[in-house]
C-alpha cells in the first residue's frame, strides 16, 4: 500500500525531492519498502495514466545501515530502467540528550525512631493537565541524614519534555520496608536553574515539608538538597552506531547431537520435509534475514557441535559446517542453508551438548575487535539446540566472560525438551554468575523455545529474539565510552 508520495519536480531528469518520509523503525523486523518513480503530465491523483519510469525495492535496514543508498531503477519485470538510479538518505529523528546528575543532601529530618532516615529522591514532571508524573527514583541510602547519591542519568525529554523552563518537582522520602514511605520534603525547580550547578559552585534547594511548615511557627526546612553537578550530554542511539559504520557480525551454531534423531527419519529434528525445511532452518532464516542488512560483506561463519565429523569421525564441538576450517564463512543466509543441507549426510550425530567452545570461539573475535577502540563491530551468536546443556558450568563462565565484550547470544530451543537450564542462562530473572561466582557485567543472552512460535507468523521469532539487541549494543558501547567510527551526523 502507498505510504506517501513526494512533490512533483517539473522538467527534470535529475530531480531532488524535498519531501521527507517519516517511518517508524524496528530493528527486529524486515521492513520492506518500494520506491516508484513516475512522469506525471496531468492533475489526477491516480498513477495508472502516468508513465512509469522505474522502481526500487529494498529494506529500511539496508537504508539505515548504508545511511545513503544508491541503486539502479528497475522495471516491473526486473530489467534495468535505462540508466536511471535512485539515492535515498536516512536520518534519525530524535532528541538523545541526557541529563547527568550528582546530588547529595545534608541535615535531613530524621523520620525513624530507631536509627536514622533512609532517604531517596523522586523526580516528577508536570503533564499538560497539571498532574505530576514520576520520571526517576534514586537508590536508597540507608541510615544517613547526609546522603550522597551515585551519579545518575535521566533523558531530557523524560525529565521536562526538553523544555528548560518546565517545572520539575523533586521529593525526598524516608524509605520504609512496608511501603509506607514518609515524605521528608520537596522543592520545585527548572532545568535552567539546575544546569547552573558546578562542583565548585553547587546549586542548593531547601527541602520543604508543607505539613510541618503549617504546624511549626519557627520551621525553616527539612534539610538541604545540593546539586553538585548537572550536565546535558548527547548519547549515541543504536542507529547512531549503525549509521556511523558499526557492523553486526552474525555467527550460527547448530546442534548435531544424537538426541535430535536420525536425520533420515521424519521424527528427527534435522529431517528435511519435502519442501526442504525444518525448525533449524526456519530459525536461521528468521533471524538471519533481519541481521544480514547490517553486515556489508554478508559472509557468515556457521559451526556445528556434538557430531562425529569426517574423515576420522572424532567428536567435535566447534566444526565449520562447510568443512573448511580456514574459511568457515558462508555467502549470505542462503549460503548457511546450503552448507547445512550438504553437511547433514556427512556427519554422525553424537554428543554431548557443549556450548562453551562456540561461545569462546566468537568471543575471541569480539575480544580482537575491542583493540580498535571504536564502536566498529558487534557480534551476534545464534545457537540452535534441541536439549539440555552438558557443560553448564563452562557455558556460564563463557557467557560471563563474553558479557565484557561486544557480543550478544541468542539461543533457540527446538523440539519438545525441557529447557529450564536455558531459561537460567537468560539473566532476566537475576544476574548470571560463573561457576566461581563472578557476575555477568551485562545480560547478553536471550532464550526462546521455538514451539512458542510454531503457529505464529514467520517474523514473530525474530521479533522476539532480536528486540533486546539494540539496547544491548548501546549499553556495551556507552559503558566503554566507544564512539562510532564515523560521525553519524556528517
Q: Is the dihedral of CA 213, 218, 222, 227 positive or negative?
A: positive
Domain locations in the chain as residue ranges: 1-90, 97-234, 239-479
Low-confidence residues of the chain, pLDDT below 70?
A: 427-430, 488-490
**Strand, helix or coil at 279?**
helix
Residue 107 to residue 225: CA distance in whole angstroms? 9
Burial 439-451 (b: 16+ CB within 10 A, else e): ebbbbbbbbbbbe
Q: What is the secondary structure of 112-142 as a DSSP string?
A: -SSS---EEEEEEEE-TTS-EEEEEE----T
Bridge pairing between strands 152-155 and 97-106: antiparallel
Indicate the class that CATH gives domain 97-234.
Answer: mainly beta
Q: What are phi and psi of 428, to 5 degrees?
A: -60, -30
Task: Give the global pTM.
Answer: 0.77
pLDDT of residue 197: 94
The DSSP H or E segment spanning 226 is strand 224-234
pLDDT of residue 489: 60
Q: What is the secondary structure of 371-400 as a DSSP string?
A: GG-SS-EEEEEEEEESS--S-HHHHHHHHH
CATH topology of domain 239-479: Rossmann fold (3.40.50)
Residue 392 burial (10 A CB sphere; 0-12, 13-18, 19+): middle
Residue 312: which residues within 8 A CB-CB, separation 6 or more? none
**Strand, helix or coil at 253?**
strand
Q: Is the dihedral of CA 26, 296, 242, 479 positive or negative?
A: positive
**Residue showing cell 544546569:** 195
Neighbours of 21 (CB within 10 A): 13
Residue 86 to residue 343: CA distance in whole angstroms? 41
Amino acid at each position: 500500500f502507498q505510504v506517501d508520495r513526494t512533490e512533483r519536480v517539473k522538467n527534470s531528469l535529475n530531480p531532488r525531492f524535498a519531501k521527507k518520509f517519516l517511518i517508524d523503525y524496528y530493528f527486529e523486523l524486515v521492513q520492506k519498502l518500494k520506491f516508484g518513480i513516475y512522469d506525471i503530465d496531468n492533475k489526477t491523483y491516480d498513477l495508472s495514466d502516468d508513465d512509469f519510469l522505474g522502481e526500487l525495492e529494498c529494506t529500511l535496514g539496508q537504508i539505515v545501515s548504508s545511511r545513503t543508498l544508491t541503486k539502479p531503477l528497475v522495471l516491473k519485470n526486473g530489467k534495468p530502467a535505462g540508466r536511471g538510479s535512485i539515492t535515498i538518505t536516512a536520518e534519525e529523528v530524535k532528541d538523545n540528550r541526557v541529563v547527568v546528575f550528582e546530588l547529595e543532601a545534608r541535615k535531613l529530618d530524621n523520620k525513624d525512631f530507631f536509627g536514622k532516615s533512609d532517604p531517596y529522591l523522586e523526580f516528577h514532571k508536570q503533564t499538560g493537565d497539571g498532574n505530576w508524573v514520576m520520571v526517576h527514583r534514586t537508590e536508597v541510602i540507608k541510615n544517613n541524614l547526609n546522603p550522597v547519591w551515585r551519579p545518575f542519568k535521566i533523558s531530557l525529554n523524560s525529565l521536562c519534555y526538553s523544555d528548560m523552563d518546565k517545572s520539575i518537582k523533586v521529593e525526598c522520602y524516608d524509605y520504609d520496608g512496608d511501603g509506607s514511605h514518609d515524605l521528608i520534603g520537596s522543592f520545585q525547580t527548572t532545568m535552567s536553574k539546575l544546569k547552573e550547578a558546578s562542583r565548585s559552585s553547587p546549586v542548593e534547594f531547601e527541602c520543604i515539608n508543607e505539613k510541618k511548615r503549617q504546624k511549626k511557627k519557627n520551621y525553616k526546612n527539612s534539610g538541604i538538597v545540593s546539586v553538585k553537578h548537572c550536565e546535558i550530554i548527547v548519547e549515541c542511539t543504536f542507529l547512531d552506531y549503525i549509521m556511523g559504520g558499526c557492523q553486526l557480525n552474525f555467527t550460527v551454531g547448530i546442534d548435531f547431537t544424537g538426541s535430535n534423531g536420525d536425520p533420515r527419519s521424519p521424527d528427527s529434528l534435522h529431517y528435511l520435509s519435502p519442501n526442504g525445511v525444518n525448525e533449524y532452518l526456519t530459525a536461521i532464516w528468521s533471524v538471519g534475514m533481519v541481521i544480514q542488512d547490517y553486515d556489508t560483506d554478508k559472509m557468515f561463519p556457521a559451526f556445528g557441535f556434538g557430531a562425529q565429523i569426517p574423515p576420522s569421525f572424532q567428536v567435535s564441538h566447534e566444526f565449520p559446517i562447510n568443512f573448511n576450517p580456514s574459511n568457515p564463512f558462508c555467502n549470505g543466509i542462503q549460503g548457511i542453508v546450503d552448507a547445512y543441507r550438504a553437511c547433514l549426510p556427512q556427519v554422525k550425530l553424537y554428543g554431548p551438548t557443549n556450548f562453551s567452545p562456540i561461545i569462546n570461539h566468537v568471543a575471541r573475535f569480539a575480544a580482537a575487535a575491542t583493540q580498535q577502540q571504536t564502536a566498529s563491530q558487534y557480534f551476534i551468536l545464534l545457537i540452535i539446540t534441541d536439549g539440555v546443556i552438558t557443560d553448564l558450568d563452562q557455558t556460564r563462565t563463557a557467557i560471563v566472560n563474553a558479557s565484557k565484550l561486544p557480543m550478544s547470544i541468542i539461543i533457540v530451543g527446538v523440539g519438545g525438551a525441557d529447557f529450564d537450564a536455558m531459561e537460567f542462562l537468560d539473566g532476566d530473572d537475576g544476574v548470571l554468575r560463573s561457576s566461581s561466582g563472578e557476575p555477568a557485567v551485562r545480560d547478553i543472552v536471550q532464550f526462546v523455545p521455538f514451539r512458542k512460535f510454531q503457529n505464529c507468523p514467520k517474523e514473530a521469532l525474530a521479533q522476539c529474539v532480536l528486540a533486546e539487541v539494540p539496547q544491548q549494543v548501546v549499553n556495551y558501547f556507552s559503558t566503554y565510552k566507544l564512539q562510532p567510527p564515523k560521525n553519524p551526523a556528517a
